Structure 1
Amino acid sequence: MPNPEYAAYKAVDPYFDLIRGALGGLVDGEHFFDIVTDDVVYEVLYNFPGWPRIIQGRPDLMAQFRGYGDNIALQSADKLIAHKTDDGRVVVIEYEVHGTVLATGVKYDNRFCSIIKIENRKIAHWRDYMDSLVAWNALTALAR
């Protein structure tokens, strides 16, 4: 049964489901937040207003993602390519997300590449790359 604590993150479920599926049996837990360590480091290698470059710890990661759903509702995540290295301790994933910017109704389609380090069957470190210009254009577009 899904954890009711995660209901607030419904808008991000396509992303969470894609990540959980990409990691399969390499990690333990059902939901994205179940498969990260308590002291996870989530690092983004882009500057984007309102999103910190480094998020440390599961509680802060949960707080940051809670706000994501206030701005963008994801409809899907796809085009997954997973590269497992170092006996599954490092996974590189490429994928796309598709959604709508809630304030304007503008469509949001972006590409990502994430490098994930796994320790003791949990995500210990995440390094993320995305097309920042696509995100900026979608979030700053005028309502149509």
Structure 2
Amino acid sequence: MSASPRTARDLFEESLRRLLAKDMTGYAALWAADGVFEFPFAPANYPTRLVGRSAVEDYLRGYPDLLDVREITECTVHETADPDVVVAEFEAAGRVVATGRPYRMRYVAVVTARDGEITRYRDYWSPLAGAELMGGLDELTSAFATTGAQA
């Protein structure tokens, strides 16, 4: 008897474990080959949509060099009427690597899964909060534009 595929909740929870482990390759491996990662609130000059597991991996490769996420301080996962979709509210905390400043930011994610892989992940983060954490809009733009990662 084969195991059931991972659910959207399972995949979201595993994504947080991989984020804390700074395993961006493993994080991206949770995506379907043609999965989509969207940033509906992305500021100008930031991608709003990544298509494909390899694009997700390329985008997140430098993330641990920018933000040292050490804990998820709050997390609530809401089931939806669609069993393949969850909505997660969470807060990540750690430090900004370049400055050593504390990092604490709230997120809302809408995760869709099919066949045990993430097919769509909408990441609602605040560019204003990100700019404040990084020391200003210029610092945010510079840090994340050069690595491809995003707060």
Normalising by structure 1, what TM-score? Answer: 0.72
Work out the number of aligned pairs and report it: 118
Q: Deviations over 1:70-106 (max 9, x none)?
A: 2111111131111112342111000000111111111
Is 1:34 the counterpart of 2:29 in the alignment?
yes
Are residues 77 and 51 of structure 1, via their aligned partners in 2, closer, same or farther at CA, if it must alter by over 3 Å?
farther
Out of 100, 107, 110, which is 2:102 matched to? 107
Secondary structure at the counterpart of residue 45 of structure 1:
coil
What are the equivalent positions in structure 2 for 1:11-90 lying under 5 Å apart?
A: 16-17=16-17, 31-48=26-43, 51-90=46-85
What are the equivalent positions in structure 2 for 1:111-130 lying under 5 Å apart?
A: 111-130=106-125
Letter paired with 2:90:
Y
Letter paired with 2:120:
H
Out of 128, 131, 136, which is 1:133 matched to? 128
Cα RMSD (Å): 2.4
Percent identity between matched residues is 25
Secondary structure at the counterpart of residue 88 of structure 1:
coil
Q: Output the CA distance in 2 between the equivalents of 1:46 and 1:93.
A: 16
Q: Is the 8 A contact 2:15 2:30 kept in 1?
A: no
Q: Deviations over 1:29-68 (max 9, x none)?
A: xx43332101110001122477421111111101111121
Normalising by structure 2, what TM-score? Answer: 0.69
Are residues 86 and 43 of structure 1, via their aligned partners in 2, closer, same or farther at CA, if it must alter by over 3 Å?
same
Q: Deviations over 1:9-45 (max 9, x none)?
A: xxxxx963178xxxxxxxxxxx433321011100011
Q: Is the 8 A contact 2:91 2:106 kept in 1?
A: yes
Q: Output the CA distance in 2 between the equivalents of 1:136 and 1:15.
A: 24
Secondary structure at the counterpart of residue 99 of structure 2:
coil
Unpaired runs of 5+ residues, structure 2, are 1-13, 20-25, 140-151
Q: Output the CA distance in 1 between the equivalents of 2:72 and 2:32.
A: 23
Q: Output the CA distance in 2 between the equivalents of 1:48 and 1:87.
A: 30
